Structure 1
């Protein structure tokens, strides 16, 4: 059963990413910029730690959104993959040097402060209307979120995607992290109690 679930997730991921890749590049840029308006609905306290991500391939470019949250007083951080299982979040400071982080992304070097975010903007490959997500398959975010929750720091999770990445139903697995809010070019969607 779990093997069938993984096979289906792999196929849903492939199809959703193909739809995202097919989006016109200029349209993706405009849609990404339009998501900055959602910053008004995403409340942050001065000094609150927000994790974002450096976009890769055809992902939503959330850098404008991140800097809008920074203007509201948030401290920013982005993921840094330390090894095959561990991801931490390093502080992103304007003007600080950036290094290659793998997967076609960039981020702060090892000298940057490691932070625990209270709000995480989470990339994803696909999602459904219940807030179930399909990541890229390596489980870095699932483990990082579990580590924060185990330490008593349950962050607010906001998935980031385009509408075309929605699928009818994501198969459930025991280790999956449910994302209660998803931001797309249509706006911020909040999901009720999970089914």
Structure 2
């Protein structure tokens, strides 16, 4: 009998294989086009948006982050503190970036830690309910839970390609569902969001 964890592992592998098979030039083009959604995603001026440095075949949100910054948003990137914890450090284009592991880059120590108003959330797979499968370490679920425990309610927007959608993500008590997803087809709200 497959456990929820086993099923997530299978769904993750299949969705990532579909994403990896996408044409690289097309993925770059889609990443550029995401910037056209900046007005719909921008918090009030001075609000914080957490993005991410793309790894492997992930959607490149750097053009979107640039467009959001141009609209007055403060941009933050995840920084891995240990095997269970990420925080979001302010991203300043001229500041040095350091290797965060997993092929990603982020601001170094001494950079301001910010609480996001809007979170652009990377993922391996998602379903029509807004449930997501990450990469298996649970960093984002724990970070979102910590923000909620502080009384914050960040807008959670998954970033993916349409091919990463699966019929059903087995959800567990610790999973944090998304309110929206942004793919090449545009921005879509989930029923619960």
TM-score, scaled relative to structure 2: 0.97
Q: State whether structure 2 residue 97 is matched by structure 1 residue 72.
A: no
Partner of 1:26 in structure 2? 25
Partner of residue 138, structure 1: 137
Q: How big is each residue's C-alpha offset from its partner over 1:42-78, in whole Å with a ceiling of 9 and x where there is no partner?
A: 1321100110000000000000001101011000000
Q: Distance in 1 between matches of 2:42 and 2:29?
A: 23
Kindly report structure 1 stretches of 4+ aligned residues shifted beyond 4 Å: none
User: What CA distance in whole angstroms lies between the structure 2 residues aligned with 1:116 and 1:41?
Assistant: 20
Q: Bigger CA drift: 37-46 or 8-17?
A: 37-46
SS, match of residue 64 in structure 1: helix
Q: Deviations over 1:133-189 (max 9, x none)?
A: 000000000000000000111111000000000001111211111101000000000
Q: Does the residue aligned with 2:13 lie in a helix, a strand or coil? A: helix
Helix, strand or coil for the counterpart of 1:101?
Answer: strand
Counterpart of 2:151 in 1: which secondary structure?
Answer: coil
What is the number of residues matched between the two proteins?
193
Q: CA deviation at 1:193?
A: 2.9
1:119 Cα offset (Å): 0.7
Task: Please tell me whether the aligned partners of residues 43 and 117 of structure 2 are also in contact (alpha carbons under 8 angstroms).
Answer: no
Residue 53 of structure 1 corresponds to 52
| Alignment gaps of 5+ in structure 1 | none
Q: Could you tell me how far apart the structure 1 residues matched to 2:15 and 2:192 are?
A: 25
User: Which has the larger displacement, 140-149 or 167-176?
Assistant: 167-176
What secondary structure is seen at the aligned counterpart in 1 of 2:35?
helix
Structure 1 match to 2:191:
192
Per-residue deviation, residues 105-125 of structure 1 (Å, max 9, x unmatched): 111110211111111000000
Deviation at 1:192, TM superposition (A): 1.4
